[in-house]
């Protein structure tokens, strides 16, 4: 196998490129296989085109590597959600977009990474990182609910997220994306009508 050369202006840049290559390799393997316990340092190093022992220079164990994967993925997930919400006009549209954006991430395979990590042997070590990621996803929803006039936006956000989680399970079980995303957004809007009418 040809090992790709990673070139950089400084040693620090070179190390950062190698670290990013390892995180990307782990992310790809998690997305493809859906089993964190099978994403070994050997497999990650091979995917990144690096020697197996080089992984230990950057990550002492798999929990540290997977925490880096979460830290790398979370800003992309929240950016996608925020972009769709920012493009929406009304608070209700933003809240429906919040649900749609997450279902798009599921459709595109991003959720397989989170699911794999949640089921792996390092899940306890990753609990803090996962909770932080979850809060980051809920924050724009809470803001939109506040803008809508909800008197308990945090509670409503948790309940709406439960609906998205159920839709996620349905998608992963083979439900049609278009039909399910349309139904989910309709249910979100119906819930908002009930909340604002209360």
Alpha-carbon span 111 to 162, nearest angstrom = 15
Q: What is the pLDDT of residue 124?
A: 66
Alpha-carbon span 97 to 168, nearest angstrom = 15
Single out the residue of 179, 178, 42, 36 nearest to residue 112, CA to CA. 36
Q: 49-83: string of b/e by CB count within 10 Å (b at 16+)?
A: ebeeebbeebbeebbebbbbbbeebbeebbebbbe
Single out the residue of 177, 48, 30, 6 nearest to residue 100, CA to CA. 177
163, 103 contact by CB (below 8 A): no
Structure tokens at 20: 């990013």
Kindly give the confidence (pLDDT) of every residue in the chain, 198 residues in length, as a single tens digit, with 9 standing for 90 and above. Answer: 444 455 667 888 888 999 999 999 998 888 887 677 888 999 999 999 999 888 999 999 888 898 888 888 888 888 999 999 999 999 999 999 999 999 999 998 887 777 766 666 666 656 777 777 788 889 999 999 999 999 999 999 999 999 999 999 999 899 999 999 999 999 999 999 888 765
- Please name the residue ranges forming H helices in 108-152: 110-119, 127-148
Q: What is the pLDDT of residue 148?
A: 93
Q: What is the pLDDT of residue 59?
A: 93
**90 sits in which H/E element:** none
Single out the residue of 5, 52, 7 nearest to residue 25, CA to CA. 52
What structural domains and CATH numbers belong to the chain?
A: 62-197 (1.10.357.10)
Is 108 strand, coil or helix? coil
Q: What is the pLDDT of residue 2?
A: 45
Q: What is the pLDDT of residue 86?
A: 95
């Amino acid at each position: 196998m040809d090992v790709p050369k990673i070139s950089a202006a400084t040693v620090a840049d070179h190390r950062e490129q190698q670290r990013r290559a390892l995180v990307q390799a782990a992310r790809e393997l998690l997305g493809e296989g859906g089993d964190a316990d099978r994403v070994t340092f050997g497999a990650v190093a091979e995917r990144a085109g690096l020697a197996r022992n080089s992984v230990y220079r950057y990550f002492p164990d798999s929990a540290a590597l997977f925490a880096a994967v979460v830290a790398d993925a979370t800003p992309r997930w929240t950016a996608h959600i925020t972009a769709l919400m920012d493009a929406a006009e009304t608070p209700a549209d933003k809240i429906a977009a919040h649900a749609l954006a997450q279902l798009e991430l599921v459709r595109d395979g991003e959720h397989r990474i989170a699911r794999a990590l949640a089921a792996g042997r390092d899940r306890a070590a990753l609990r803090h990182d996962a909770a932080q990621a979850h809060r980051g996803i809920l924050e724009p929803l809470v803001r939109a609910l506040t803008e809508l006039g909800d008197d308990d936006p945090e509670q409503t956000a948790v309940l709406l997220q439960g609906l998205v989680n159920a839709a996620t399970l349905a998608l992963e079980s083979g439900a049609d994306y278009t039909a399910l995303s349309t139904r989910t957004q309709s249910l979100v809007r119906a819930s908002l009508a009930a909340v604002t009418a209360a």
